[in-house]
A = this chain, B = another copy of it.
Amino acid sequence: MSNQPSMIRSLIAQDNPFNTTDELLQWIRRRNEEIKVAIEPADLKSMDQWYMDGDGCLRHRSGKFFSIEGVHVETDFGPRQAWDQPLINQAEIGYIGIIAKEMDGVMYFLMQSKVEPGNVNHVQISPTLQATYSNCTRVHNGKQPNYLEYFLNVRPDHIILDQLQSEQGSRFIRKRNRNIIIRVDDDIEVKEDFRWMTLAQLKSLIRHDNLINMDTRTALSGIRYANYMDNNTDWEAFSPLGRDLILSANAPHGLHSLDNLLFLLTRLKVKYTLKITPKPVNKLEEWNIYDDRIARADNQYFQIIGRKVSISNREVLSWYQPLLQPLEKGICAFIIKKIKGIVHFLVQAKVECGNFDTVEFAPTVQCSAENTNDPYRQPLFLDYIENADSKQVIYDTLQSEEGGRFYREQNRNMIVVASDDFETEDIPDNFTWMTLYQINELLRYNNIFNIQARSLLAALPYAEQ
């Protein structure tokens, strides 16, 4: 096993000379106690540094960070053809950066315990660097983010991945972040809020509710394991399920060719139309501006709220900001199935109003778990997921969305192994089957897999017994 590539060894290495997984759990628990967090309601119109313009949009006085704006949406995807809604407009590209370092033949990742105002449990495990462009250029006069210089000065041959990936298409207008993982060779100081972790530990911790934050999940999902597999790869080190998954990550040829998966995406981008027109927030149909929130009268979907935030260890100790609060419980799930001996994922092509290019690939199920009596909202395969036998469910965890924008949002993330009689051929036009290799290959390119899919993929492959 000594020649095993360090990235693959990291997938297997539950042991870590720096800290055990239990110690990491204790560390997060302790940080939760130590860091003082106060989140108080604030009127939307009286948040320091923010103002509501004549259209009802919420904007930062610097013109930076993000704004809450309104849109009218028209599309022929799905049963609802037109609606109004607010969206978060965040034009600037943020850093989601992780530093990796090979030590004793194992790749370690430098992770941070970080508080975000919307986090359900305050402290979560976050990337080494998680900062908007405004943070990096110190628009808010805070400290320069830790470890930023490593990313600014990285040599091209030390980049493990560097991708622009989308965030929630139903909440952001074309938002993207830079997902970047870099390797350092030199010794590097491990600062107070940071710890080295293996992939095996991260993929174990991700099975705890709301512990690995969204930004970590999206960055981890982009690692292309096929790059690291070779004759030295020790398949026996994986559990039978782990082996099935890592072999899928090494399987370029699946039920469909990569070409045909790309042609499907083209076909659906031509088939579906999506038209977004800016519309003042105070004119959005079904939506109202109240003192403390922007919300629908029927309290469906989500609302925009104001909060005053005080966090003891952040660059800026106290600030005001709007947050998006979901009013429904979400569920995101992949159905997977062994087809011709290789694990395939049932992938949905989905149009969301803020998508960069109309269609992105999404999990098999991505919806609200409520309101299933609404004829407009009866997603395919939800029944199958919810009625699956517990032996079929190989992953079932509550995962938080980004606490810098979303208030206490947690979605149920599931991976369900389909039974043998699950239909393989006769699936809807906008669904297809892919191997994990094919998914990883498409993930090299921007805006092909959405954040909900990437959040699930971050848990894979895993080698636990």
Chain A positions within 8 Å of B, measured between CB atoms, are 93, 156-157, 159, 161-164, 178, 180, 227, 259-260, 262-264, 266-267, 269-270, 356-357, 444-446
Known interface pairs A357-B446, A445-B445, A446-B357; A163-B260 also in contact (CB < 8 Å):
no
Cross-chain pairs A/B with CB under 8 angstroms, 18 sampled = A156-B260, A156-B263, A157-B260, A159-B260, A159-B263, A161-B259, A162-B262, A162-B267, A163-B262, A163-B266, A164-B266, A178-B270, A180-B266, A262-B444, A262-B445, A266-B446, A356-B357, A445-B445
Nearest CB of chain B from residue A258's CB, rounded to whole Å: 8
Q: Report the Cα distance A445→B262, complex, angstroms.
A: 8
Q: Which 7 A-B pairs have the closest CB atoms?
A: A162-B263, A162-B266, A159-B263, A445-B445, A93-B270, A156-B260, A178-B270
One complex includes copies of this chain to the number of 2
Docked-complex contact A156 and B266, CB < 8 angstroms: no
**What residues of B have a CB within 8 angstroms of the CB of A260 in the complex?**
156-157, 159
- When distances are taken between beta carbons in the complex, the residues of chain B under 8 Å from A161 are 259, 263
- Which residues in B have their C-beta under 8 angstroms from that of A357? 356, 446
- How distant is A217 from chain B, measured CB to nearest CB, in Å? 19
Q: List 13 extra interface pairs beyond A161-B259, A178-B266, CB under 8 A.
A: A156-B260, A156-B263, A161-B263, A162-B263, A162-B266, A163-B262, A163-B266, A227-B259, A262-B444, A262-B445, A266-B446, A357-B446, A445-B445
A267 to B95, CA, bound (A): 12
Residues in B with CB closer than 8 Å to A180 are 266
How far apart are the CA atoms of A444 and B161 in the complex, in Å? 20
A174 to chain B, nearest CB (A): 10
Cα of A148 to Cα of B459 in the assembled complex, Å: 45
Given known contacts A260-B156, A262-B444, A357-B446, A164 and B269 CB-to-CB distance under 8 angstroms: yes
